[in-house]
């Protein structure tokens, strides 16, 4: 089947999927699965949503790629929509979360350089994850992702997550940015404390540094607001996005306040495929479903329904330590390695994924049905009964 021709970068499950619709996928043998991984928070509308397939079909017959040497109408429309829905002013389009983070880091370095040549240090959080390129690795606070790629880029320093005292100690006049995930995804579904984010905003203002939120996983409706920052009441200068922004089609973006965005001038940064007519058409369709048609408005209601059922499991099974996360970015913290639970659920037709060392991560589509949540909980209970 050509498996040996693919680089060995993932410990994949022994399954080949060929079809998906809504919250369900089917493998080549016809077995049905409930997909609560959603492409790792990508398929916000589930699989093969009609709005996405329609946008792909219609736009691909008109114009797929033109390059950023020229303007295209869909890029105008998507940029305006993102700006209108946020507290920000300008957008840069790319293809992935890692690219969005790289853009944010470059923007921060250029912003600092405009102030003085020594203003180039970027602070990041321990236990964070920002991507796998060398720049993103330098701000990823987990040694397991970094150790085989040393030496890393210089000019970065780590801060204990949610530790105001440590942040106050590390930030100074040479800091050009602080990058934070409002909810640490790969690190274990750990939510930032509002007071910590407020202090980060205050200190960035004091030292004229950019506050960057990495919303690649927690953004685009995942926590019940279009942008995660809106759930915390703290406005960053720069937001890195991807995953759900395209609902399954590759697109990334960085939105920024004008004071940050003006640091870039022609030649500073670019992206060959970023903001193509096709990618933007799909993203516009996704945002119409999420925002204009109100899917986001029901996320917290569905979250409460789901969390209530998970809390019932917690009361019944000692292996569950806590239920964490917000919206439909949830985690079950367990007292043992989560891999066994994830594998057993997979065998029974429920796709989940681990996070950190002790969390089972749950990322259903944002339009998930209550009966699908019920079925997932039933499978989880069957697994916990025998675990």
Q: Does the pLDDT value for residue 132 go beyond 80?
A: yes
Host H or E run for residue 280: helix 277-287
Q: How far is CA 231 from CA 182, 215, 221, 222, 327, in A?
A: 9, 12, 10, 11, 10
- For 296-364, the three-class secondary structure string (H helix, E strand, C coil) is HHHHHHHHHHHHHHHHHHHHHCCCEEEEEEECCEEEEEECCCCHHHHHHHHHCCEECEEECCCEEEECC
Q: Which residue has the higher pLDDT, 11 or 42?
A: 42
> Which pLDDT score, from 0 to 100, does residue 2 have?
76
CA-to-CA separations, 144 to 140, 338, 349, in angstroms, rounded: 10, 17, 30
CA distance 315 to 297: 29
**How far apart, in Å, are the Cα atoms of 93 and each of 78, 86, 112, 183?**
10, 16, 22, 23
In this structure, the strands spanning 252-256 and 90-94 are antiparallel
Q: Is 215 labelled a binding residue?
A: yes
> Would you say 245 and 283 are in contact if contact means Cβ atoms under 8 Å apart?
yes
Mean pLDDT value of segment 207-233: 98
- Eight-state DSSP code of residue 20: E
256: left (phi over 0), alpha (psi -120 to 50) or beta: beta
Query: How remote is the C-alpha of 318 from its chain's centroid?
Result: 30
Letter string b/e over residues 313-325, b meaning 16 or more CB atoms within 10 A of that residue's CB: bbeebebbeebbb
What is the number of other CB atoms lying within 10 angstroms of the CB of residue 25? 23
Q: Is 216 annotated as a binding residue?
A: yes
DSSP string, 190-252: EEPPHHHHHHHHHHHHHTT-EEEEE-TTTTTTTTSSSSGGGGTT---SEEEE-GGGGTTS--E
Q: Give percent of the chain above pLDDT 90.
A: 97
Q: Please name the fold of domain 3-48+296-385.
A: 3.90.1150
Check pLDDT > 80 for residue 255: yes
Helix (H) or strand (E) holding 98, with range, is helix 97-115
Other C-beta atoms closer than 10 Å to the C-beta of 264 total 19
pLDDT digits over 69-109, tens only? 999 999 999 999 999 999 999 999 999 999 999 999 999 99
Asked whether residue 129 is marked as a ligand-binding residue, the answer is yes
> For strand 190-191 and strand 32-35, is the pairing parallel, antiparallel, or unpaired?
unpaired
Q: Which helix (H) or strand (E) holds 274?
A: none
Mean pLDDT of 261-282: 97
pLDDT (mean) for 133-150: 94
Token duo for residue 366: 């944002």
Is the pLDDT assigned to residue 131 strictly greater than 90? Answer: yes
pLDDT tens for residues 300-353? 999 999 999 999 999 999 999 999 999 999 999 999 889 999 999 999 999 999
Determine whether domain 52-292 maps to CATH 3.40.50.970.
Answer: no
User: Is 217 marked within a binding site?
Assistant: yes
Domain segments of the chain as ranges: 3-48+296-385, 52-292
Band of pLDDT at residue 18, cut at 50, 70 and 90: very high
Query: Could you report the per-residue pLDDT of 167-201, keeping only the tens digit for each?
Result: 999 999 999 999 999 999 999 999 999 999 999 99
Q: Are 191 and 197 in contact (CB under 8 A)?
A: no
What local confidence, expressed as pLDDT, does residue 1 receive? 60
Per-residue pLDDT reduced to its tens digit, 371-380: 999 999 999 9
* Pair of tokens at residue 371: 């009966």
Q: How much is the pLDDT for 3?
A: 84
Instruction: For residue 97, say whether it is annotated as part of any ligand binding site.
Output: yes
272 is in an annotated binding site: yes
Separation of alpha carbons 350 and 260, rounded Å: 43
Query: Both tokens of residue 47?
Result: 């699989």
Q: What is the pLDDT of residues 200-219, one digit of tens each?
A: 999 999 999 999 999 999 99
**pLDDT(287) > 90:** yes
């Amino acid at each position: 089947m050509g498996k040996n021709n693919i680089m060995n970068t993932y410990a994949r499950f022994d399954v080949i999927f060929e079809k998906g619709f809504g919250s369900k996928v089917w493998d080549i043998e016809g077995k049905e699965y409930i997909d609560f991984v959603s492409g790792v928070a990508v398929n916000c509308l589930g699989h093969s949503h009609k709005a996405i397939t329609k946008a792909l079909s219609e736009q691909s017959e008109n114009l797929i790629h033109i390059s950023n040497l020229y303007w295209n109408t869909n890029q105008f429309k998507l940029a305006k929509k993102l700006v209108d829905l946020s507290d920000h002013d300008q957008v840069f389009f790319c293809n992935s979360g890692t690219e969005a983070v790289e853009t944010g880091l470059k923007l921060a370095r250029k912003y600092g350089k405009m102030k003085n040549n020594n203003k180039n240090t970027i602070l990041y959080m321990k236990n964070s994850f920002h991507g796998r390129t060398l720049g993103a690795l330098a701000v990823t606070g987990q040694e397991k992702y970094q150790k085989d790629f040393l030496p890393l880029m210089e000019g970065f320093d780590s801060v204990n997550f949610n530790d105001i005292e440590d942040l106050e100690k590390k930030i100074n006049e040479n800091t050009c940015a602080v990058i934070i995930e409002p909810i640490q995804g790969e690190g274990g579904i750990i939510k930032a404390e509002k007071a910590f984010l407020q202090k980060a905003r205050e200190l960035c203002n004091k030292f004229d540094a950019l506050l960057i939120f990495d919303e690649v996983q927690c953004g685009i409706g995942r926590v019940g607001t279009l942008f995660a920052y809106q759930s915390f009441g703290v406005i960053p200068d720069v937001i890195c996005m991807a995953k759900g922004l395209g609902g399954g089609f590759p697109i990334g973006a960085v939105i920024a306040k004008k004071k940050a965005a003006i640091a870039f001038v022609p030649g500073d940064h670019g992206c060959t495929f970023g903001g193509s007519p096709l990618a933007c058409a799909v993203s516009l369709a996704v945002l119409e479903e999420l925002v204009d048609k109100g899917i986001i408005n029901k996320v917290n209601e569905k979250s409460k329904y789901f969390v209530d059922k998970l809390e019932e499991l917690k009361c019944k099974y000692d292996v569950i330590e806590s239920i964490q996360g917000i919206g439909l970015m949830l985690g079950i913290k367990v007292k043992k390695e989560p891999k066994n639970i994830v594998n057993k659920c997979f065998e029974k037709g429920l796709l989940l994924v681990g996070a950190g060392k002790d969390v089972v991560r749950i990322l259903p589509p944002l339009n998930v049905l209550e009966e699908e949540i019920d079925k997932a909980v039933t499978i989880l209970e069957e697994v916990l009964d025998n675990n």
